Amino acid sequence: MLDSLYIGATGMQVQQLNVDTVANNLANVNTVGYKRSRIDFEDLLYRSVATTSQAGTTTAAATEGGKGMGAAVASVGKVFTVGDVKKTDEPLDLAISGQGFFEIQMPDGTLAYTRNGAFQLNADGTLVTRDGYPLNASIQVPADTTSIQVGANGQVLATVAGENRAVDLGQIELTTFQNPSGLTALGDNLFVPTENSGIATPQVPGEGGAGLLRQGFLESSNVRLIDEMVALIVAQRAYEINAKVVQASDELLSISNSLYR
């Protein structure tokens, strides 16, 4: 079989995954705190090519001049550039103007991390995500609270009925990673650390590059429609040309088979 059939097939396969990645980015263009995915490719192993010298002897060509065997996906990772910040005026909406993450406690007791700062209160007055996962800082808001203030440094104060002074409810810390791109996505805008990301490092907002908190704001998705549309067109054209390679290889095989007729 011609190697070009296999090579073209690998090209079609990786470009299909490329289209899937772009489609997921476009689907989440309005998802709060979403980080766009990026796919990286690599070439497959090279194979030595047999050549015949003028003397009639057959030798194997050097690997540098060998024949490539197609393309493969090297990695699919997240791009953690900061998205645009939009004003909501909701007191429990928090945006991070830096590289930090909110630390969330999962139902099984493990920790996950998110950039989505759209919080709310559960029946116990605990600050939780929209899915009901509590913020690991364990902020508990009294039932008779009339207003909440979250400082840029993460300090949470509440105005309680009958109290002359604001009540200190605790401190929201942010978490940073040496390599955020190494985080593994769980869905629901949640991530967990891996060996590539490095360990989670708690930081007070405003220190260590974690960024400051902005109350009444939310971070938008960092997906850029123009960039994704261009990437979609490129992936589509690449898929088409690889399909042409497969078609041309099939025609060559048909010609070879017809020689025996």
The phi and psi torsions of 223 (rounded to 5 degrees) equal -75, 130
**Per-residue burial over 171-202, b = 16 or more CB atoms within 10 Å of its CB, e = otherwise:** ebbbbbbeebebbeeeeebbbebeeebeebee
Residue 125's Cβ-count burial label (10 Å; 0-12, 13-18, 19+) is: middle
pLDDT tens digits in sequence order for the chain, 261 residues long = 578 888 888 999 999 999 999 999 999 999 999 999 999 998 887 766 666 555 555 555 444 556 778 888 888 889 999 999 999 999 999 999 999 999 999 999 999 999 999 999 999 989 999 999 999 888 889 888 889 999 999 999 999 887 788 899 999 999 999 999 999 999 889 999 999 999 999 999 988 888 999 999 999 999 999 999 999 999 999 999 999 999 898 888 888 777 765
Cross-strand partners of 42: 72
Q: What whole-number distance in Å separates Cα of residue 64 and Cα of residue 256?
A: 30
pLDDT value, residue 53? 54
Q: What whole-number distance in Å separates Cα of residue 95 and Cα of residue 92?
A: 10
Instruction: Read off the DSSP letter of residue 82.
Output: P
Domains of the chain, by residue range, sit at 3-80+223-258, 85-219
pLDDT value, residue 50? 61
Cross-strand partners of 60: 50
> pTM for this one?
0.81
8 A C-beta contact, residue 143 and residue 162: no
pLDDT value, residue 63? 44
pLDDT value, residue 54? 55
pLDDT value, residue 62? 46
- The two tokens of residue 27 are 């689907």
Q: What whole-number distance in Å separates Cα of residue 125 and Cα of residue 118?
A: 15
Residue type, 97: S
8 A C-beta contact, residue 172 and residue 137: yes
8 A C-beta contact, residue 57 and residue 50: no
Residue type, 94: L
Q: What whole-number distance in Å separates Cα of residue 60 and Cα of residue 216?
A: 67
- The two tokens of residue 190 are 């949640």
- The two tokens of residue 63 are 């690997």
Q: What whole-number distance in Å separates Cα of residue 109 and Cα of residue 88?
A: 31
Give the CA angle between residues 97, 225, 21 to the nearest 5°.
Answer: 95
pLDDT value, residue 257? 77
Q: What whole-number distance in Å separates Cα of residue 101 and Cα of residue 137?
A: 12
Q: What whole-number distance in Å separates Cα of residue 201 and Cα of residue 198?
A: 9
pLDDT value, residue 26? 96
Instruction: Please compute Rg for the chain using Cα positions.
Output: 27
